[in-house]
Amino acid sequence: MTRRLLTLAALVLFPHAASLAQSAPATTPANTLTAAEKKAGWTLLFDGTSLAAWRGYQQTDLPPEWKAVDGTMTKVKTTNDIVTRQQYGDFELMLDWKLALRGNAGIFYRATEKETKVYWSAPEYQLAEDSLTPDSRNPMTSVAAVYGFYPSKRGVVRRAGEWNSTRIVAKGPHVEHWLNGELIAQYELWSPEWLRTLRGDPTDPTKKPLKFAAYADFGMAKKGFIAIQGDHDGELSMRNIKIRELK
């Protein structure tokens, strides 16, 4: 049967197909907000070209290794961590990211600049590709885990070089880590369980303090910076970075 006859047959069987195809909404361009998102209070932390929303950790300017490349916020080698210029308390953060093979990074929230490294002050949403990265061998430190506190799970992250979608929700003590549409971990900051995990349990010798316990203010801030780790190996690219404050 010729292509013309196949097309006619399709129109007879599915007379509304052409009109449906014509009325299908176009995909929202990367690094933009829809009218509904703007109304809901979302703002962009990266518009595809400007990195003005970010600066280096304990710096006034952005480290030069962080660049806008083809609509992505990218670093290709080890450099300083970066933080948002604005601080956030209760928020919802969404972004897409991809890492090269053996790549490793992280997103920190409610971070402060009291310590020499951002990871001594704030919880971390781990970013990693899930094959050869040493941290990925342990569910407690693999992609989307609450690093060191609550585990991730296998089979959700995509391969190195492919885009993943992350969502972090922080409302008071309640925090959620999402990856590619799946809820990976949720927990209550400052709860007795969280504190026992951080500081260890004196009644259980198998539950040792985490390395973060040496820093008295770790995870205690109710408002702080969003931070992206840059001091690990591997090319990291991000896009569609948007946030809204929760009331």
> Which residue is associated with the tokens 């951002």?
118
pLDDT in tens, 105-136: 999 999 999 999 999 999 999 998 866 666 66
Nearest to 168 by CA among 137, 151, 138, 146: 146
- pLDDT score recorded for residue 147: 97
Percentage, residues of the chain above pLDDT 90: 77
The whole-number pLDDT of residue 26 equals: 56
Contacts of residues 58-62 at CB distance under 8 Å and 24 or more positions apart, as own/partner, are 58/113
What is the gyration radius of the CA atoms in the chain, in angstroms? Answer: 21
pTM (2 decimals)?
Answer: 0.88
Which domains are delineated in the chain? 31-245 (2.60.120.560)
Q: Report pLDDT digits (tens) over 186-220.
A: 999 999 999 999 999 988 888 999 999 999 999 99
Instruction: Write phi, then psi, for 223 (nearest 5 degrees).
Output: -150, 140
Decide if pLDDT at 31 tops 70: yes
pLDDT of residue 102: 84
Cβ proximity of 65 and 76 under 8 Å: yes
Q: What is the pLDDT of residue 76?
A: 95
Are the C-beta atoms of 242 and 94 separated by less than 8 Å? yes
DSSP letter for 117, please: S
